[in-house]
Amino acid sequence: MKYRNITEGSFLERPNRFIAYVEINGKKEKVHVKNTGRCRELLTPGATVYLEKSDNGERATAYDLVSVKKGERMINMDSSAPNKAVHEWLLKKELFPGLKNVYPEKVYRNSRFDFYIETEEEKIFLEVKGVTLEKDNAVYFPDAPSERAVKHVGELAEAIKEGYSAYIVLVVQMKEVDFFAPNVETHPAFAQALLEAREAGVKILAYDCEVTPDSMELRDPVPVVLTELDLIAKPLLSWYDRGRRILPWRENPMPYYVWLSEIMLQQTRVEAVKPYFDRFIGQVPDVKSLACLEEERLVKLWEGLGYYNRVRNLQRAAKIIMEKYEGIMPSGYEKLMDLPGIGSYTAGAIASIAYGKAVPAVDGNVLRVLSRLRMDGEDILSQKTKSRVEKELGAVIPEDRPGDFNQALMELGATVCLPNGAPKCMECPWKGFCKAHLQDKIFEFPKKKSKKERIIEEKTVLVIKAEDKAAFEKRPEKGLLAGMYGFPMLEGHRSEEEVLYFLRSKGLRVIRIQRIGEAKHIFSHKEWHMIGYAINIDELEAPKEGVAKAGWIFADKDEARERYPIPAAYASYAKYLDIKLGV
């Protein structure tokens, strides 16, 4: 937008909101101020101001004060200029390429919004706010309490419920500022209204302007900071770009690779997963091969990663993808959530990394770093807390780099903001505004309610060898380690005499028995405290009936290694057969 007949002057005083006195060409002139805000930090004695001379010779004031220099920065302070500039900008179709109509001043309920817009797909209300208050290169609104602004924001949120789209465009009437934030000190209700509006779906945008004495034009987007989360993306992505880890699924983020890696990474470290991932895709390269693979072979490939129900759900989901989606993994978050074994975190990871959808992926790492960042005292093990954080991140995730943003958050938690009291704060891109770091309270966060104590189960493991073969039993198809193979096992800690009695009841002739030590394996909800015996039996005299009834098979170590999936719970005893579990 352009002005005509611009004159330079020197500000003298402002007796009220509408009138000021300015020295123009050595003469004191009464002028009209085109801004009813306070503008105290702008209109200081001696400040250079710019005025538009009116064409109406009968006006009481011949000039309108439209802009001012604050140091070397030119600031437009004309309250009518933002709407004019936005109108011109909308007509260029930069915000809405499918623009059909623009109507200034539209009444809706008890508000008169600045613009009503129609595109090929949407009906939109848009409210404009001019921003002139600058501190330390950041800008704020309002500079005085504004109940009208709060009402407008609230009714935009209501319009969303009725099917409209809604926007707030904050026109920063100067250029090259760091960010916009609501002026919480002056009007906390407006700050809260903006936050609630964004959560309701109102898009909040800010743009700076190219300002000259006789013009103002919208220029570049300005970051909008409503909470600490609005500060995190830029430094986080810069940190990630400088030193992200090179991972096979990251370098080739095909949906299948992302999905497989995320399932493998549950409860397992990245470095440990790499060889398992490479081995798995080498033999099961796509969804079709996963859906068709024989289950026992599938579980064998998973051996060493634990939590075997994960791989079974992986195959169930693959079969659904083949049947319902013709072998192509769906890109939609909700459709991903419908697949077996895929929760909100995994769905968010796949949708954002593989498909570029702006949805969050919140796991324990993310909850931990955000808890410290904000000194959030809520229990991070609570689903309520996780759901809240997902909603908050959904409002700030960069639409141009959602996958990198989610991976950077995971990376920060995995490599810098570590659990167990060992964060590397000086390497953190957020160290300048992380509350727990700045207040030296890192070790107090995150907050977790005490978990229920694990159930302890005592077991006796029998490594039964007949010449070059050993006995294995298949576990039940449901329950812990379902369908896996392990050594025969008895409940409780049994004495040598009890073990011998058990074996004789199976018709086995024991040649030698030896105690081989204790071991512990921890599951999510229980612990096995085990003792073991190495037992040699006479294969030639061993009757088959007792063994068959027990459901045991005898296999040599090569067959066991290649064919039968043996979980890591038995690792301490597998070594007595020279069997290494996993990759």
The residues assigned a catalytic role are 262
DSSP state at residue 332: S
Contact at 8 Å (CB) between 494 and 460?
yes
Distance, CA of 240 to CA of 248 (rounded, Å): 16
Angle separating helix axes 188-200 and 147-161, nearest 10 degrees: 10
DSSP state at residue 568: G
Phi then psi dihedrals of residue 381, to 5 deg: -85, -5
Q: What tokens appear for 421 in the block? A: 């009291």
Q: Tell me if the bond preceding 446 is cis, omega within 30° of 0.
A: yes
Contact at 8 Å (CB) between 9 and 51?
yes
Radius of gyration of the chain (CA): 34
Apex 299 CA angle, 298 and 302, nearest 5 = 95
Query: Residue 334 — left, alpha, or beta (φ > 0 → left; ψ -120 to 50 → alpha)?
Result: alpha
Distance, CA of 238 to CA of 366 (rounded, Å): 18
DSSP state at residue 5: S
Distance from first CA to last CA of the chain, Å, rounded?
67
Contact at 8 Å (CB) between 395 and 195?
no
Runs of H (alpha helix) within 443-556: 496-505, 544-550
